[in-house]
Amino acid sequence: TVSVLYWPSMPQEVWLGVPDGKLDATPIDAYTARLGGKPTWLRRGSPKSVDCTTCGAGMALLAQLHAPLATFDRILYVFVCRACCGSGKPAVRVLRSQVYNVDYDEEWHAKVAAAQPKTKMFEEADDWGDDEDEAPAPAAAEPAAPAEVPPRYDWSPETHEDTTVGQKGAPLGGFYMDSIPEPRESKQAQQQKGLAGDDESVLRQLEQKNADVVERGGSGGAVEEDDDEDEDPTPDEFVERISRAPRQCLRWQPGGIPLIARRDAFTGPVDPCPCGRPRTFECQVMSPAIYFLSGDKAEADQPLHFSTILVFTCSAHCYAADAPVTEERAIWHEEL
């Protein structure tokens, strides 16, 4: 059975995933966002390993993200093949897993019930004869009920696993990932405050790897302007948005517009979901992830080479009770 779901309200702002300390030996559940490390599966029957569809090698977890729906817990897994990175071949797979959450369901249906019109004891038009000349107060607007109500399901703990499993090959580094809203202040304002620690290190590596993309140009950190815009394929917005939070390894904005490093880069559309609904952009992994996961490795020894990875998921968030994971789509943008 496949059911159509939706977010109760589509987020308009961009949320960023930033590293928040290295993973340790402490077991972590599926809801804990991470960069690298090992996957923690949400549902029983999930694959014990994820293999590359191009070369057959075992893939490593690049990122795991908790992106819940109205009545479902929902996890996205992004895997990469180190053997195919930089080869021009498909090197990424995205898996989506969902499980019904009875607490979410009760909270959502309570909101639906609260939004229903209530019977009033006295109508505003009733005239008790006390204020003959006083105009009646306008009736308060009732809150609108949601257009759709998510279906209810039979909750069974047997569908929930929440187990970390092994994977072929060594995992990529490993960092906890915190989520923050994208800063709204200008790049110039942040530069006046100065960059600290990791932010400065990330910018230095980005400058070395993509010298034609991010150039601070002196102590002020200004972006170098090109007189001939046609010769510079890098959108100014890309440089500006990255500089707002140089440690951003993931950007999440379902239904939004991807942030790309080249104007001529392919951004979709991708093939539709097997349920028949189109897949739409949801999030993207950013190149600063390479800096954190590669550590002190030399350029030639770094296993990852990309500028960004765009993730597309089913716009209906379809759910199949007998399918622990659903394959989604990604677009890999090569390193500049």
DSSP string, 136-154: PPPPPPPPPPPS--PPP--
The CA dihedral of 194, 199, 201, 206, to the nearest 10 degrees, is -110
- Which residue has better confidence, 305 or 248? 248
| CA–CA separation, 271 and 96 (whole Å) | 16
**CA dihedral sign, ordered 286, 28, 328, 305:** positive
Q: Please state, in angstroms and rounded to a whole number, the distance separating the CA atoms of residues 304 and 36.
A: 12
Question: What is the arithmetic mean of pLDDT over 174-195?
Answer: 76
pLDDT higher than threshold 60 for residue 136: no
Distance of CA 320 to the CA centre of its chain: 22
Considering the chain, what is the average pLDDT of its residues? 75
Percent of the chain whose pLDDT exceeds 90: 32
Q: Is it the case that residue 335 has pLDDT exceeding 60?
A: yes
Residue type, 135: A
| Model confidence at 111: pLDDT above 60 | yes
| Higher-pLDDT residue of 300, 289 | 289
Phi, psi (rounded to 5 degrees) for 231: -85, -10
pLDDT of amino acid 72: 82
Beta bridge partners of 312: 281, 329
Buried b / exposed e along 227-255 (16+ C-beta atoms within 10 A) = eeeeebebbeebbebbbbbbbbbbbbbbe
Of 116-125, 179-188, 253-262, where does mean pLDDT reach its minimum?
Answer: 116-125
Query: What is the per-residue pLDDT for 261?
Result: 87
pLDDT, tens only, 218-265:
333 333 444 444 555 567 888 889 889 999 999 999 999 999 988 888
DSSP code, position 45: T
Lowest mean pLDDT: which of 38-47, 130-139, 244-253? Answer: 130-139
Residue 33 corresponds to which amino acid?
Answer: A
Query: Which residue in 279, 317, 289 sits closest to 67, CA to CA?
Result: 317
Among candidate residues 51, 20, 47, the one with its CA nearest the CA of residue 36? 20
Could you tell me where the DSSP H helices lie in 144-244?
A: 187-193, 197-209, 236-244
pLDDT for residue 293 is more than 60: yes
Instruction: Determine the average pLDDT of the residues in 28-56.
Output: 89
List of long-range contacts for 271-277, beta carbons under 8 Å, 24+ apart: 271/329, 273/314, 273/315, 273/316, 273/318, 273/326, 273/328, 275/2, 275/4, 275/314, 275/316, 275/318, 277/4, 277/314, 277/315, 277/316, 277/318
Residue 282: exposed, middle, or buried by beta-carbon count in 10 A (0-12, 13-18, 19+)?
A: buried
| CA separation for the pair 81, 60 (Å, rounded) | 6
Q: Under DSSP, is residue 272 helix (H, G, I), strand (E, B) or coil?
A: coil
- pLDDT class of 334 with cuts at 50, 70, 90: confident
Contacts of 180 (CB under 8 A, 6+ apart): 15, 16, 18, 245
The reported pLDDT for the residue numbered 162 is 61
